[in-house]
Structure 1
Amino acid sequence: MNELQVVLSVLAALVALVLVWHIVRDEQVTNVGFFGLVALQVGLVVQLVWGVVRVADNHDGVSVAAYLAYLIGALLILPVAFLWSASEKSRSGTAVLLVGVLVLPVLFLRLHDLWSAHV
């Protein structure tokens, strides 16, 4: 796994802890959680750009369609989860955000597997 994905996974874990705190306390997401989500999203944009550059260079044997689908999918998860949670002002809405955040490291592992299996 590359360094960016490790940093994003650690950030996702920290944001997940903040979200669990909000779920337990039955609160809406505060600035700390919101800015954590924004930082994650910015990191995902960087990952997308880096991934596209990587695929454009040397990608012998890598399934470009699958790799790009995972990059784009990872980029879309947080906005969809955020919109869903904004419409549900309860623990359930925050839980949707939590699930979205926890899915990201799994997608990072899959991206790593797709790349390292063929290159």
Structure 2
Amino acid sequence: MTPWLYGVLLVLAGVTAVLLVVDLVRDRSAQDSHYIAFAVLEVALLVQLVVGIVALARTERDVEGAVFVSYLVTNALIPVVGAFFSLAERSRVGTTILLLAVVTVAGLEVRLWDVWGGRGA
């Protein structure tokens, strides 16, 4: 796991969350810009999935591999599931679903960093 990828993902999640909160305050339903932000976040998460698996294969660290890979896969699936449910609910609730998904991604990123660093499995 590279620190710069971790930082990029947290920044992307943060920017997306701010965009969603602004539109929630403005009482707007999910917009195309939200889905574009989610697509960018998903691409970065897929890059992290590949980089993380390669890093796990090459590391000498004491990392619980199954837990680490399960966090990587789950994190890559969260934006897809969130976008799916948001598309099913085309109201302000859909925007809230997207916000919950992006906050979940950020939380899983922090936990993933802990697992990689060996502070818990």
TM over 0.5: yes
- Give the gaps of 5 or more residues in structure 2: none
Distance 1:88 1:59, change over 3 A: farther
4+ runs deviating over 4 angstroms: none
Distance 1:59 1:108, change over 3 A: farther
The root-mean-square deviation of aligned C-alpha atoms, in Å, is 1.5
The answer as to whether partners of 2:30 and 2:86 remain within 8 angstroms in 1 is: no
Counterpart position of 1:27: 28
Q: Distance in 1 between matches of 2:33 and 2:87?
A: 16
Give per-residue Cα distances to partners, 1:71-109, cap 9 Å, x unaligned: 000000001011111111111111011011011121111
Identity %: 36
Q: Distance in 1 between matches of 2:75 and 2:11?
A: 16
Q: Distance in 2 between matches of 1:93 and 1:29?
A: 6
Task: Output the TM-score relative to the length of structure 2.
Answer: 0.90
Q: Distance in 2 between matches of 1:59 and 1:34?
A: 38
The size of the alignment, in residue pairs, is 118
Task: Output the TM-score relative to the length of structure 1.
Answer: 0.91
